[in-house]
């Protein structure tokens, strides 16, 4: 194990030495690896996924740029997949928090390798990842493999605000705080963990257009507007559509309510609990719940700032058929 780790660390160091460096939002630096800005540990995690992770044909991955709705989708996907096992009044979400119900592939791979305990997870296995589509192994992303992706995206202006708040909370204490203006500049320049935001979204968008049966592309704003409609889409995509009896019996609304911001954020576990991603990365669950609104950027961005992000979005997404 130690040998394997040393070898891997050596490999990561060799890779990192050749890469362009940028300022990190949580840690001191990020590196431009194959078009995406990643902290060193994320590069290690990516190598591990390539080397040690063996997807199963029934796996479902939840993918998103940071702060676009992973917490919400995790809860919805888990509650949907396991709706026959648990009552909403005594649900695992009450005890574990949304991040405990299924693993972050990016973080958990550190704890699992080289002998994976992922094999013991019930089928379909659910995993979350922040990695861009093109960084992941083709064993996961190739249209010929049957595992699926649920991607959730969000207005980049709201993603920026949410990410700045979150990263400021978990930012390494040895570093000086990052001002909002600095975060804004970095974000516009694409220098943001797992980003650039736009390339992240476009990778999954294009793949979802090519293989709609493999990638379901959701928007946070649509989910806020019509959660039941989006949840039904999600369940169908996961291969577990709600039956007419379930729909008539109010199961869809029950899951929507269970996973709502108001409900989840008031669970004790989400007020006081913590989520350990790796030994060095422990995040208080409460940090995953801030406002849960669409358009909070209006409280932070000047008109000029808004226009700049909107124009980047328009330019980058031009011709893709996607509007954000």
Stretch that binds ligand A3P, among 108-116, 240-248, 288-296, 300-308 (CB under 6 A): 288-296
Within 13 Å of residue 113, how many CA atoms lie on the same side as its CB? 22
Q: What character string, x for contact with ligand A3P (CB under 6 A) and - otherwise, covers 140-169?
A: ------------------x---x--x----
Q: Does 70 bind ligand A3P (CB under 6 A)?
A: yes
Q: Does 259 bind ligand A3P (CB under 6 A)?
A: yes
Q: Does 183 bind ligand A3P (CB under 6 A)?
A: no
Q: Which of 130, 133, 165, 200 is catalytic?
A: 130
Q: Does 64 bind ligand A3P (CB under 6 A)?
A: yes
What tokens does 74 get?
């995790």
Residues 6+ apart with CB under 8 A from 24: 30, 39, 193
Q: Give the torsion sign (CA, 233, 94, 162, 150).
A: negative
Q: Does 63 bind ligand A3P (CB under 6 A)?
A: no
54 is catalytic: no
Burial 288-311 (b: 16+ CB within 10 A, else e): bbbebeeebbeebbeeebeeebee
Can you give the three-state secondary structure of 140-189, one letter per residue?
Answer: HHCCCCCCEEEEEECCHHHHHHHHHHHHHHHCCCCCCCCCHHHHHHHHHC
What tokens does 308 get?
């700049």
Q: Does 292 bind ligand A3P (CB under 6 A)?
A: yes
Q: In terms of CB distance, is 162 or 313 closer to ligand A3P? A: 162
**Minimal distance, residue 296 CB to ligand A3P, in Å:** 5
Stretch that binds ligand A3P, among 5-13, 77-85, 107-115, 255-263 (CB under 6 A): 255-263
Q: In terms of CB distance, is 283 or 317 closer to ligand A3P? A: 283
DSSP 148: E
User: Are the C-beta atoms of residues 218 and 76 closer than 8 Å to each other?
Assistant: no
Q: Does 264 bind ligand A3P (CB under 6 A)?
A: yes
Q: What residues are paired with 126 via a beta bridge?
A: 60
Q: In terms of CB distance, is 186 or 258 closer to ligand A3P? A: 258
User: Are the C-beta atoms of residues 15 and 33 closer than 8 Å to each other?
Assistant: yes
Residues acting as catalytic residues: 130
Contact set with ligand A3P (CB under 6 A):
64, 67-72, 158, 162, 165, 259-261, 264, 288-292, 296
């Amino acid at each position: 194990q130690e040998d394997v780790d040393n070898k891997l660390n050596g490999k990561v160091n060799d890779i990192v030495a050749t890469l362009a460096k940028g300022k990190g939002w949580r840690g001191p630096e990020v590196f431009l690896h194959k078009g995406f800005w990643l902290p060193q540990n994320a590069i290690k995690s990516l190598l591990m996924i390539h080397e040690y992770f063996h997807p199963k044909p029934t796996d479902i991955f939840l993918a998103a740029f940071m702060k676009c709705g992973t917490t919400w989708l995790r809860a919805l996907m888990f509650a949907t997949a396991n709706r026959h096992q648990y009552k909403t009044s005594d649900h695992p979400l009450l005890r574990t928090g949304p991040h405990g119900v299924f693993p972050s592939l990016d973080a958990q791979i550190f704890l699992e390798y080289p002998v994976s305990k992922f094999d013991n997870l019930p089928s379909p296995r659910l995993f979350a990842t922040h990695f861009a589509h093109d960084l992941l192994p083709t064993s996961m992303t190739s249209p010929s493999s049957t595992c699926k992706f649920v991607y959730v995206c969000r207005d980049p202006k709201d993603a920026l605000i949410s990410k700045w708040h979150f990263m400021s909370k978990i930012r390494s204490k040895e570093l000086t705080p990052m001002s909002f203006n600095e975060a804004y500049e970095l974000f516009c320049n694409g220098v943001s963990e797992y980003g650039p935001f736009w390339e992240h979204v476009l990778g999954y968008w294009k793949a979802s257009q090519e293989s709609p049966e493999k990638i379901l592309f959701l928007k946070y704003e649509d989910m806020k507007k019509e959660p039941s409609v989006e949840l039904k889409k999600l369940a169908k995509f996961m291969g577990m559509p709600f039956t007419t009896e379930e729909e008539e019996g109010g199961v869809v609304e029950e899951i929507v309510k269970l996973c709502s911001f108001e409900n989840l954020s008031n669970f004790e576990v989400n007020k006081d609990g913590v989520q350990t991603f790796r030994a060095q990365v422990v995040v208080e669950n409460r940090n995953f719940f801030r406002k849960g609104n669409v358009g909070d950027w209006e409280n932070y961005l000047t008109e000029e700032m808004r226009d700049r992000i909107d124009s980047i979005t328009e330019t980058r997404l031009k011709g893709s058929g996607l509007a954000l």
